[in-house]
Structure 1
Amino acid sequence: MDFELEKFKTQGVKVNYYYICKRKLWLFSKGISMEDTSDRVMSGKIIHEDSYQRKKNKEMLIDNVLRLDIVDDEYIREVKISSRMPKADEMQLMYYLFYLKHLGIDKKGTINYVKEKRVDEIELTEEKEEEIKNTLINIKSIENQKNPPKLENLPYCRKCSYFTFCYVKEEE
């Protein structure tokens, strides 16, 4: 059975959020964005903008849905501040490679961890393609839920831009 990407295409950040927190993904998909109020996110954007300034193809938008950090001859390069969320970072880049492959463009990928001065090379495999397909199906399912997924108390919640939204208690 062929996978119909057109039915499931989404922003790369949603793939990233899927691997970090399903609740965050749902909130973001409903237009509830807390990133603008986060110092950590703002700091990340500044570092992102200041990194790799000599690269010509920075911030390339594909089909009004994918925002690729850097594109060069052989690689799609995803710029991240640190490697605290390696699975989410890897799968976001895998999604980009998967999407581009559906457009007839075969590339490899790298995740460039700026603070650590580290580069991880990524290649799309058949296994990862299947994982991406399942991820996209699950993302669509989460987005279609009437209510957000149940709150999970994860080790990194306190540093999340959605922390106060998720943990605020209403007065009784």
Structure 2
Amino acid sequence: MQHQTIGGVDIQYYVVCKRKLWLYKKGIGMEEESDRVMQGKVLHEIAYPRLLQKEILIDGAFKIDALDGEYVREVKISSKMQKADTMQMLYYLYQLSLRGINKKGLISYTKEKRTEEIVLNDDNRQVVVDAIEGAQNILQLPSPPKAKKVPYCKKCAYYEFCYVLEVDEHDA
């Protein structure tokens, strides 16, 4: 069984939607047309204007938004996907710890004007290891997992891909 490299976005997708992870990693990219993804890209470009170290690629494996002293920083529009955002940050902290770099994380939610501190500990370290393994298992599937409708599906870049054959009862 061949393992694919798992990155921070992959871990976020793993938490949000296993199907989205599979499609994204198989090169079925729907993000280019998504307004929400575009908003996120613009936010990343203008975030942290005083920091010199931004959009840092680590060992060609994953990219973090910014380094700020003892912190890895991530910026998000809103906290609607807070669990996935936290897992993504924990993944970054875990990967850095494997390289002998111990940092804490800060996730800034611009809409709510608040910041969450994330600390890697033994308990959530194992959660990250399990998520990486789970993501790799999803990617070994011969076809994508079934679509599982959740409240945020309609805002997802993959929504039409997943539900194009469904007819909404209001449309019929």
Q: TM (normalized to structure 1)?
A: 0.92
Q: What aligned pairs does 1:1-172 form with structure 2 within 5 A after superposition?
A: 9-169=5-165
Superposition TM-score, scaled by structure 2 size: 0.92
> Which secondary structure state, in structure 2, belongs to the residue aligned with residue 61 of structure 1?
strand
Aligned residues: 164
> Is the Cα–Cα contact under 8 Å of residues 43 and 75 in structure 2 kept in the other structure?
no
Counterparts in 2 of 1:8 and 1:33: CA distance versus 1, 3 Å: closer
Q: What SS does structure 1 have at the residue aligned with 2:32?
A: helix
The Cα of 1:40 is off from its aligned counterpart by: 1.4
Structure 2 gaps, min length 5: 167-172
Secondary structure at 1:78 match in 2: strand
Give the AA of the match of 1:23. Answer: R
The letter for the 1-side match of 2:35 is D
Q: Using the alignment, how far apart are the partners of 2:151 and 2:103 within structure 1?
A: 34
CA distance in 1, matches of 2:39, 2:68: 26
Query: Which one-letter code corresponds to 1:136 in the other structure?
Result: I
Q: Secondary structure at the match of 2:165?
A: coil
**Percent identity for Structure 1 against Structure 2:** 50
2:51 and 2:5 mapped to 1: Cα distance? Answer: 27
Distance 2:80 2:95 in 1: 25
Equivalent residue, structure 1, for 2:170: none
Q: Structure 1 residues 97-106 or 43-52, which shifts more? A: 43-52
- Tell me if structure 2 keeps the 8 A contact 1:82–1:114: yes
Instruction: Quote the offset at 1:127 in angstroms.
Output: 0.5
